[in-house]
Structure 1
Amino acid sequence: MTETDSLVSHFECYDCGATYELDHTEFPCPDCGGILDPQYDYDAIDVSRDEVEARQDSMWKYRELLPILDTDDIVSMGEGNTPIVDCPDLAEEMGVARVAIKDEGQNPTNTFKDRGASASISGASQQGIEEVAIPSAGNAGQAAAAYTARAGIDCHVVLNYQSNDIQKTMVEAHGADLHLVDGKLDKAGATFGEMREEHGWYTVATFQTPFRHEGKKTMGLEVFEQFDWSGPDEIFYPTGGGVGLIGIWKAYQELLELGWLDDETPPSLHVAQSEGCAPVVEAIEEHRERHDAWECPQSIGRGIEVPDPGASPWMLEAVYETGGTGKAVTDGEALQGALDAARHAGVEMCVEPGAALAAAMQMAEEGAFDEDDEILIINTGAGNKAADALDYAIE
Structure 2
Amino acid sequence: METNETLLDLECIDCGETVDAETAAARCPECGGILDPVYDYDAIDLDRETLASRPRDSMWRYEELLPFARERAVTTNEGATPLVDCGGLAAELGVERVLFKDEGRNPTGSIRDREAAVAVTAAAEAGVDDVALPAAGDAGQAVTAYAGRADLEAHVYLPSRASHTTKSMVNVHGGEMTVVGGRFPDAAGAYEEALAEHDGWEPLSAFDTPYRHEGAKTILFELLEDLEWTTPDAVVVPAGDGVALAGLYKAGTELLELGLIDEIPPLYAAQAEGCAPIVEAFDVDAEAHEPIDHPDTICGEIEIPDPAGGALVLEALRATDGGAVATDDDAILEAGIAVAKGEGLEMAPSAAAAASGTWELGERGTFDGDETVVVLNTGAGNKESDVLRSHLMGKGI
TM-score band by shorter chain is: over 0.9
Matching residue's letter, 1:282: E
Deviation at 1:303, TM superposition (A): 1.1
Match of 1:392 in 2: 390
Alpha-carbon distance change, 336 to 173 in structure 1, aligned in 2, over 3 angstroms: same
Q: Secondary structure at the match of 2:217?
A: helix
1:75 aligns with 2:74: yes
1:361 aligns with 2:359: yes
Deviation at 1:134, TM superposition (A): 1.0
1:94 aligns with 2:93: yes
- Distance, in Å, in 1 between the alignment partners of 2:4 and 2:11 is 20
Structure 1's consecutive aligned runs of 4 or more residues displaced over 4 angstroms after TM superposition are 3-6
Match of 1:106 in 2: 105
Aligned residue runs from structure 1 range 1-395, under 5 A: 6-55=5-54, 56-69=56-69, 71-200=70-199, 201-261=201-261, 264-394=262-392, 395=397
Deviation at 1:33, TM superposition (A): 1.4
| Contact 2:275/2:297 (8 A) holds in 1 | yes
| Contact 1:6/1:65 (8 A) holds in 2 | no
- Distance, in Å, in 2 between the alignment partners of 1:80 and 1:161 is 29
| Contact 2:295/2:305 (8 A) holds in 1 | yes
Identify which range, 18-27 or 285-294, moves more after superposition: 18-27
| Contact 1:133/1:155 (8 A) holds in 2 | yes
What whole-Å deviation, never above 9, does each CA across 1:113-141 have from its counterpart, x for those lacking one?
A: 00000010111112112211111011100
- Distance, in Å, in 2 between the alignment partners of 1:91 and 1:359 is 14
Deviation at 1:268, TM superposition (A): 1.3
Matching residue's letter, 1:28: R
| Contact 2:241/2:302 (8 A) holds in 1 | yes
Q: Secondary structure at the match of 1:351?
A: coil
Instruction: Please give the TM-score of this superposition, normalised by the length of structure 2.
Output: 0.96
Matching residue's letter, 1:328: A
RMSD: 1.4
Identify which range, 49-58 or 361-370, moves more after superposition: 49-58
- Distance, in Å, in 1 between the alignment partners of 2:182 and 2:252 is 37
Instruction: Please give the TM-score of this superposition, normalised by the length of structure 1.
Output: 0.96
Aligned-residue sequence identity (percent) comes to 43
Matching residue's letter, 1:15: D
| Contact 1:68/1:126 (8 A) holds in 2 | no
Q: Secondary structure at the match of 2:350?
A: helix
State how many pairs are aligned.
Answer: 391
Deviation at 1:73, TM superposition (A): 2.8
What whole-Å deviation, never above 9, does each CA across 1:348-385 have from its counterpart, x for those lacking one?
A: 00111211111111221222101110011000000001
- Distance, in Å, in 2 between the alignment partners of 1:287 and 1:197 is 36
| Contact 2:132/2:205 (8 A) holds in 1 | yes
Deviation at 1:265, TM superposition (A): 2.7
Structure 1 residues without counterparts, runs of 5 or longer: none
Deviation at 1:61, TM superposition (A): 0.5
Matching residue's letter, 1:285: D
Deviation at 1:72, TM superposition (A): 4.5
